[in-house]
A and B are shown apart, each in its own frame.
Chain A
Amino acid sequence: MAVSADRASGAFFLLFGLAMYFYVNPVYIETVDGGNLAPNKVPNIVSIIVAVCGAFLTLKPTAHQVRNPILMVKTGLYVGLLVAGIYAMSWFGFEYVAPILALAIMWMIGERRPLWLGLGVVGMPVLIWFLVTQVLERALP
């Protein structure tokens, strides 16, 4: 690869640190009168350190290689699945979404055996439901 992983992440942190220092911190941190340690002191110092280290890393990268891009894409799919699942939970509740989410995850991993699918899709959610609402008397999300 022409661009090593470290150069890429170093450049990212350089920009990130600068963005924090020049834009985010001034806008989203209040200033106060007096006091000993201004609210923006520590975030500002840390932002600068991150930016400097990022720059240094861009100039002197290690030989680190990123994970296999195909694996990262697959992970992205799982993340998308979880986002959808959690979003659905906020609408329909855990009881209805959990079995579907469990089925989707297990299916994607490659599980096809009905017994294990049944355990994961019905058994586990029922067990969680029983423990949380009946034993602990808490509400499910």
Chain B
Amino acid sequence: MNPKTKLLALGASVMMAFAAPAAASDWKPNGPLTIQIGFGAGGSTDTMGRVLAKVMKENTGWNIVVENKPGGGGVAMFTGLSQRPAKGDLIGMGVSIPVLVQLVNRGDQLLFNIDSFDYLGTVAKAELALVASKDAPFDDLEGLIAYAKAQGTLPVATMAPPQVLMMKQTMAKAGAEFNLVTADGGAEVMKLILGGQVLAGFGSGEHYPYLESGDMKVIAGANQARLSYAPEVKTFIESGIEAYVDPVFFLAMRDGTDPAATEAIAAAIDEATKAPEFAEIVQNAVKGDPLNMGPEGTHQMMVDGLANAKVLFAK
């Protein structure tokens, strides 16, 4: 052996000694457990995901890393997840509706379907609202439609395809014309409303501070039921537009993951969603309580959601 190969062998053996895996008795992640969030930093999914990870880490002692992998309302992240080996080290966190709508409209191109994942649980339901500046000359969806007809057209900010489809349904049904401006997330929708560039837009939580300060008002609820924080406001359905979204924040892993792993992780998620600390952050983010449907319930929610989305959003 010449000195170089000796060095090399030494280097390799040092590395190997360090890298030897610890023996595991009970299931626990082999190395860091990563939660990939299908949205960028700073949004409600991100905030809830990070706090969930923190509480899980405190409860279980596992090393949990949080990463953001935004794009296509979570499609980029779930695509990546579906292509990774099922090693039990990667969890995806996303929102049901954007994924379901993409599956309905582009299912043949996507590399996954709803059976590509083992579902772990949900953390909360999101409430989507159409909001406007407090000075807007309308107070509900009928008023908005009437004003759009009177003006000829009316600018509305959206941030994802489901909302575009809802507004297109509204146009078709009511015969009003809207200029649909695509914004980069809820915060930009708020900016466009406050700046007066659009008259209404969709918010999934970014508008709460402005409701509180009185700068904005809710025009319509976009869920199936009325908004919990504005029960007096009618939904799209009640205004005669047969469209709604019920987005749920959920977590999943690659299908075929070791059942011991999914069971342990689902239990850890369930435990974390019951923590008061987590409830507080959920209250801040979506104005509601944590909601865990459990692995079975989450799977059912996705199956039912897909059937619904086919009816509501198929091209």
Chain A residues engaging chain B, CB cutoff 8 angstroms: 93, 95-96, 98-100, 103, 107, 114, 117-118, 121-122, 125-126, 129, 137-139
Task: Given A137-B32, A138-B32, verify A103-B15 contact (CB < 8 Å).
Answer: no
Query: Could you tell me if A126 and B18 are in contact, using CB atoms closer than 8 angstroms?
Result: yes
Q: Which residue of B lies closest to A123 (CB)?
A: B11
Choose one: B11, B32, B34, B63; the contact of A122 (CB below 8 Å): B11
Task: Given A137-B65, A138-B32, A139-B32, verify A95-B15 contact (CB < 8 Å).
Answer: yes
- B contact residues around A93 at 8 Å (CB): 19
Choose one: A122, A129, A137; the contact of B10 (CB below 8 Å): A122
Task: Given A137-B65, A138-B32, verify A96-B15 contact (CB < 8 Å).
Answer: yes
Query: Could you tell me if B3 and A125 are in contact, using CB atoms closer than 8 angstroms?
Result: no
Choose one: A107, A114, A129; the contact of B15 (CB below 8 Å): A129
Tally inter-chain residue pairs, CB-CB below 8 A: 50
Binding site secondary structure of chain A: helix
- A contact residues around B32 at 8 Å (CB): 137-139
Query: Could you tell me if B8 and A121 are in contact, using CB atoms closer than 8 angstroms?
Result: yes
Task: Given A137-B32, A138-B32, A138-B65, verify A125-B7 contact (CB < 8 Å).
Answer: no
Q: List 21 A-B contacts (CB under 8 A).
A: A95-B15, A95-B19, A96-B12, A98-B15, A99-B11, A99-B12, A99-B15, A103-B8, A103-B11, A114-B3, A114-B7, A118-B7, A121-B7, A121-B8, A122-B10, A125-B11, A126-B14, A126-B15, A129-B19, A139-B34, A139-B65
Q: When A and B form their complex, which 5 residue pairs have the shortest distance between CB atoms, in order from nearest?
A: A99-B11, A95-B15, A122-B11, A137-B63, A95-B19
